[in-house]
Amino acid sequence: MGLFEHSVKNLHDKLVKKEISPFDLVKESFDRIDAVEDKVQSFITLNKETALDIAEELGDSGIDPKNMLAGLPIAVKDNIVTKNLRTTAASKILYNFDPIYDATVIQKLKQAQVINIGKLNMDEFAMGSSTETSHFHKTYNPWDLSKVPGGSSGGSAASVAASEVLFSLGSDTGGSIRQPAAFCGVVGMKPTYGRISRFGLIAFASSLDQIGPITRTVEDNAYLLQAISGVDENDSTSIDAPVEDFSKYLTGDVKGLKIGVPKEYLGEGVQPGVKTAVMDALKTLEKLGATWEEVSLPHSEYGVASYYILASSEASSNLARFDGVRYGYRTENANSLEELYKKTRSEGFGDEVKRRIMLGTYSLSSGYYDAYYKKAQQARTLIKQDFEKVFENYDVIIGPSTPTTAFDIDGMIHDPITMYQNDLLTIPINLAGLPAISVPCGLSEGLPVGLQIIGNHFKEGQIYQVAHAFEQATDFHKRKPSL
């Protein structure tokens, strides 16, 4: 039995008792990477020498019994800046960027004595749903190497599914944690907007982006979320909400819980195997004492269109900083400042990033702002109000994380509209700023299906309560891909 088969809690106990050392865990991580990374390709940059040195120091000083995550190896999506460790956002334009500071979540991980073993592959600037738009390489789904791992946090989900790391951090703008978690059969939490500081997260769409944990179990997820949560003076959008001990919600008890199931989330376009797995999951929760009823989120149909206008508009503003002047890639053959900007961006950004910058700039331009950007903001408000109405009568909302299981590599990359529709069930949650988790709820034709549990603002504890109860009543989280 490999060390990564154990829970965070078990490993912590073993570390405290000195039955194993942090060095053992970090070495196991790198050994596994050596064994499977050529197939999965989860990583962009490894932090091997530093990680092994830190592990050795921690082993010598001993593990604090109160510090649940100390000595455990993690990997981090490559749009979260790490001091002196290359951070590229999977883009040519940042191919040589070595940050001089840590993101707030990295500072928190260091305080918790978690060991960062490397930076994970992703869609370029988090723009994509398949981890195929990375400048460096594609990532492959450990369950079936002919399938995508999802995106944009595909490397984050695939590395956990392939047992290369115990857990990872991703970011979620329109489903980028939950969709790859569903495709790779792991647990992915997108917290309430403002629960976790975005300081040091390379911005895609600032009103939507949120960092979150990807783990093998709900319990592990709760421990990691607690470690990275909290208000931050460097991020004016982070909210001063109490950092809870999320593990106290893991009771297994959901008696009397009221679940709303949106009819829009189980309609046209949802694969029969996905729908069956979700309905079976609802039956499991019923047996545990919960009740569910069909509800409606009528404005969900406008989610994808609103999201791509709003996210692209914010991206066109955020990505203006990449100009070849201060850091990152710079074209070699420019004769004027304007030419430097044009050529650097033309050569440095990939097709998907350029597409979204152009769409966003168009949506914000004079004569189109009211027709597109303003209308999208109004639709966003209606979507948020839909959720508010449902939460007046129900504790959580449940549906599939994705309409399908993982699709083929190169299957949708040349059809952007179909690719965008893949985030149909996750996008409305980001537009409303709500928390949601994806947990494994079965297999369809041998590929994992994700169950999405959505809660009201700052109700992550209640989401964990439902997710953990379901997990304990099933064995889907114990199933592993055979690489």
CA 130 to centroid of chain Cα atoms:
12
DSSP label at 264? Answer: G
Tokens for 440, please give them: 């494994």
Cβ contacts of 464 within 8 Å, gap of 6 or more: 218, 221, 222, 246, 249, 250, 437
How many CB atoms are closer than 10 A to CB 38?
A: 8
Instruction: Considering the candidates 130, 176, 238, 247, report the single residue annotated as catalytic.
Output: 176
- C-beta separation of 144 from 185 below 8 A: no
The residue with tokens 């600032």 is 206
**Beta strand ranges found along 122-242 (DSSP E):** 167-172, 187-190, 210-215
DSSP of 178-205: HHHHHHHT-EEEEPPTTSS--TTBPPS-
Question: Is 152 part of the annotated catalytic residue set?
Answer: yes
Cβ contacts of 337 within 8 Å, gap of 6 or more: none
Phi first, then psi, for residue 62 (nearest 5°) are 90, 155
How many CB atoms are closer than 10 A to CB 154?
A: 37
Angle between helices 303-318 and 351-364 (to 10 degrees): 100
> Do the bridges between strand 258-262 and strand 396-400 make them parallel or antiparallel, or are there none, so unpaired?
parallel
Instruction: Considering the candidates 77, 147, 190, 459, report the single residue annotated as catalytic.
Output: 77
Instruction: Considering the candidates 152, 163, 171, 316, report the single residue annotated as catalytic.
Output: 152
Residue 258 CA to residue 142 CA, distance in Å, equals 35
Residue 325 CA to residue 322 CA, distance in Å, equals 8
CA atoms in the 13 A half-sphere facing the CB of 99: 20
- C-beta separation of 454 from 201 below 8 A: no
Q: Tell me which residue of 320, 272, 269, 263 sits closest to 293, measured CA to CA.
A: 263
Cα distances (angstroms) measured from residue 246 to each of 212, 225, 242, 352, 426: 14, 8, 11, 37, 23
> In what helix (H) or strand (E) does residue 324 lie, and over which residues does it extend?
none
Question: Is 478 part of the annotated catalytic residue set?
Answer: no
Question: Is 129 part of the annotated catalytic residue set?
Answer: no
Query: Which residue type occupies 451?
Result: L
Residues with catalytic roles: 77, 152, 176
